[in-house]
Structure 1
Amino acid sequence: MRLSDIKRILNATVLWGEEHLDREVMSACGSDFMSDVLAYVKNQALLLTGLVNPQVVRTADMLEMTCIIFVRGKVPGPGIVELARERDIVVMTCPKRMYEACGLLYSNGLRGNCDGDD
């Protein structure tokens, strides 16, 4: 699924990276706990979170994610957006709660890492 599709499905606003919306993502994860993301996430290109701090960007960068979507209408400060820009990570915000955002993406064909490990 392209980031442009995700933007449309979630009625999201791009805070940085509009020129990269043609990027393709194959899976996603949603969490407010970056320790869980580091421990359990494999091969996801998209992170949905309501946590707004620089650690989110650092975590996404370590896992080579291409996009962060802040849910619940959360808007990161300019320092967080700049950090994401430096790491070439698209940043969006959407008004939906995480449960609804993940459900919408799942029902439109975007999956998580369903390898049966958990």
Structure 2
Amino acid sequence: MTIKDIRDILGARFIYGEDHKDREVHAACGSDMMSDVLAFVKDSAVLLTGLCNPQVIRTAEMMDIICIVFVRGKMPDDNMIEMAREKGIALLSTGHRMFSACGMLYEKGLRGGSPYR
């Protein structure tokens, strides 16, 4: 699945990174707790979250997350957008709640990453 596919499935809009739309995404994680995100294997993933702070971008960089989808219409601030630009991480926003957004992606074939344990 590509980032463009994710955008289309979720009816999301690009905040940054439309030029990354053809990158392949292999796994997904939905969480507002970055410690939970750290419990999953790195694998060109998408993160769905309602958390809007710089730690989200830092965690994404550490975990090979290539796209962040902010749920519930959340929008990152300019500082976060600049951080994502520097790291090459695409940012999208959707009005869907996290549960619904994760379910929609799962229904279309995207699965979660493997836990470390």
CA offsets 1:75-114 (integer angstroms, 9 cap, x no match): 0111111101100000001000000000000000000025
TM-score by length of 1: 0.93
Corresponding residue of 1:23: 23
Q: Does 1:43 align with 2:42?
A: yes
- State the percentage of identical aligned residues: 53
Corresponding residue of 2:12: 12
Runs of 4+ with deviation above 3 angstroms: 114-117
Q: 1:87 to 1:116 in 2, by over 3 A?
A: closer
The answer on whether the counterparts of 2:72 and 2:95 sit within 8 Å (CA) in structure 1 is yes
Gaps of at least 5 residues in structure 2 are: none
The answer on whether the counterparts of 2:40 and 2:116 sit within 8 Å (CA) in structure 1 is no
Corresponding residue of 2:102: 102
Corresponding residue of 2:76: 76
C-alpha displacement of 1:116: 9.5
Tell me the secondary structure at the aligned position of residue 61 of structure 1: helix
Gaps of at least 5 residues in structure 1 are: none
State how far apart, in whole Å, the 1-side matches of 2:60 and 2:74 are: 17
